[in-house]
Amino acid sequence: TEIYPDRLVYKGLFGILARISLPLKEIASVSLGPIWMPGAIIETSGGQKYGFYLPFSQKEDFLKTITDLKNRTA
């Protein structure tokens, strides 16, 4: 997963299963899911939901980075 100032790019598990690029302005919400599961769930302003695999150690940083960037562009 890579986060740029204007978009999020998810390269999928091991970089082979998916490639999703979401503009940050389209992200309506981000949730980390249950504490025992790795990953995050992103919902777009259009209602589409995406599940992302993230290691446990990266979950909180991911949420903070997305939130900070969205606040800067709001």
Rounded to an integer, the average pLDDT of 46-64 is 85
CA distance 5 to 31: 20
Q: Is the pTM of this model over 0.75?
A: no
Rounded to an integer, the average pLDDT of 51-71 is 84
Instruction: Give the tens place of pLDDT for each residue, 4-20.
Output: 888 888 876 665 666 78
Q: Does the pLDDT at position 49 exceed 70?
A: yes
Percent residues over pLDDT 90 in the chain? 11
Instruction: List, in order, residues 6 or more apart from 7 with CB less than 8 Å away.
Output: 21, 22, 23, 24
pLDDT at 46: 92
